[in-house]
């Protein structure tokens, strides 16, 4: 099977897009290089259908996407589509192109397109998995466990709490926040310690409610300063609680190999709701309202599977 020597990660820098594309690039092997799209107006408005910003055009000498091209280009985000389209049409020296998530245009824009199962897009070059690619490989989690950070010595069982926030089609009402705090409160007698990390999207009301409950046990509520404890939280927790507003966050949690309890806000994006329904039907996640389960469960990680399918297609491309 052919192995890539160089990989470009092509996004506009959004954290969620980088998490997926960099995770896949790491699993593919080779040297990954981040190449950010910096589309200005009006080209940013025209994406994904229009041309790239001239400064991003691979055909323009001096562009950050000009030759020499990599072996594989992995892109995601609508602003990356025009650049990937040009890379895909760049001739005999072009890279093998991969797009993550629905490009919102003809999937033939890339050699291979990945979407999660809950998306409707299908086609001859479209592949699907339930969860998404991410940076938390089994090898990385094992390395963290071998050299645990200070909170690795906290009383067991250790509960990890991962908080998201409002997103497209998803909102947290006062009742949602109160319900999450009450469910954590009921579970508190079974918990030895709590490590919690909010995201940039986490509303202060949600963070404050969880911080108040978590403060009744040893542990840490990350305040945004210093290094995010998320990698160690995933590696060392005995159970996880995750807000159900992000496909990325739930995918990362399922790779940890412990019970994952998902809190659904009342107003939830229908696409994310379909993903959570599929995961629940397969008994991969459970509600927090039923209490906490601790221990190990089989990790669910689509990243190696997706990387293998990309490498198979890449080998055919290079043959």
CA–CA gap between residue 15 and residue 164 (Å, rounded): 13
Whether the CB-CB separation of 51 and 63 falls below 8 Å is answered with no
Same domain (yes/no): 144, 102: no
Whether the CB-CB separation of 167 and 248 falls below 8 Å is answered with no
Same domain (yes/no): 142, 274: yes
Burial 202-215 (b: 16+ CB within 10 A, else e): beeebbebbbebbe
Same domain (yes/no): 116, 201: no
Same domain (yes/no): 25, 107: yes
Same domain (yes/no): 164, 60: no
Same domain (yes/no): 150, 183: yes
Same domain (yes/no): 176, 212: yes
Is 269 among the domain residues? yes
Same domain (yes/no): 264, 178: yes
Is 295 among the domain residues? no
End-to-end CA distance of the chain: 10
Tell me the sheet residues that pair with 196: 161, 221
Is 142 among the domain residues? yes
Structural domain boundaries enclosing 68: 6-133+303-318
Same domain (yes/no): 175, 121: no
CATH, residue 109: 3.40.50
154 contacts: CB under 8 Å, gap ≥ 6:
192, 193, 195, 218, 219
Whether the CB-CB separation of 251 and 275 falls below 8 Å is answered with no
Would you list the DSSP string of 135-188? Answer: S--HHHHHHHHHS--GGGGSPSSEEEEE----BTTBB--HHHHHHHHHHHHHHG
- Please count the structural domains in the chain: 2
Is 159 among the domain residues? yes
What per-residue confidence (pLDDT) applies to 240? 98
Per-residue pLDDT of the chain (319 residues; tens, 9 = 90+): 889 999 999 999 999 999 999 999 999 999 999 999 999 999 999 999 999 999 999 999 999 999 999 999 999 999 999 999 999 999 999 999 999 999 999 999 999 999 999 999 999 999 999 999 999 999 999 999 998 777 878 999 999 999 999 999 999 999 999 999 999 999 999 999 999 999 999 999 999 999 999 999 999 999 999 999 999 999 999 999 999 999 999 999 999 999 999 999 999 999 999 999 999 999 999 999 889 999 999 999 999 999 999 999 999 999 9
What per-residue confidence (pLDDT) applies to 153? 86
């Amino acid at each position: 099977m052919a192995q890539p020597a160089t990989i470009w990660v092509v996004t506009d820098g959004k954290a969620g897009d980088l998490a997926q594309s960099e995770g896949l690039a790491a699993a593919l092997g080779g040297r990954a290089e981040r190449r950010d799209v910096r589309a200005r107006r009006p080209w940013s408005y025209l994406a994904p259908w229009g041309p790239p910003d001239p400064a991003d055009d691979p055909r323009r000498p001096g562009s950050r996407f000009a030759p020499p091209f990599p072996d594989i280009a992995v892109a995601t985000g609508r602003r990356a589509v025009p650049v990937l389209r040009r890379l895909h049409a760049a001739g005999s020296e072009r890279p093998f192109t991969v797009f993550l998530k629905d490009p919102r245009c003809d999937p033939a824009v890339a050699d291979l397109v990945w979407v999660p199962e809950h998306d409707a897009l299908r086609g001859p070059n479209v592949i699907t998995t339930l969860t998404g690619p991410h940076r938390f490989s089994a090898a990385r989690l094992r390395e963290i466990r071998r050299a645990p950070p200070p909170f690795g010595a906290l009383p067991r069982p250790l509960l990890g709490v991962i908080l998201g926030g409002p997103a497209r089609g998803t909102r947290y009402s006062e009742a949602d926040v109160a319900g999450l705090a009450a469910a954590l409160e009921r579970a508190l007698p079974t918990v030895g310690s709590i490590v919690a990390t909010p995201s940039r999207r986490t509303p202060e009301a949600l963070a404050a409610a969880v911080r108040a409950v978590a403060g009744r046990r040893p542990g840490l509520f990350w305040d945004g300063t210093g290094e995010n404890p998320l990698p160690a939280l995933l590696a060392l927790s005995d159970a996880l609680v995750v807000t159900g507003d992000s496909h990325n966050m739930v995918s990362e949690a399922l790779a940890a190999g412990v019970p994952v309890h998902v809190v659904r806000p009342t107003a939830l994006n229908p696409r994310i709701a379909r993903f959570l329904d599929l995961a629940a039907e397969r008994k991969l996640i459970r509600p927090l309202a039923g209490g906490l389960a601790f221990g190990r469960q089989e990790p669910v990680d689509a990243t190696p599977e997706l990387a293998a399918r990309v490498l198979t297609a890449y080998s055919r491309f290079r043959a």
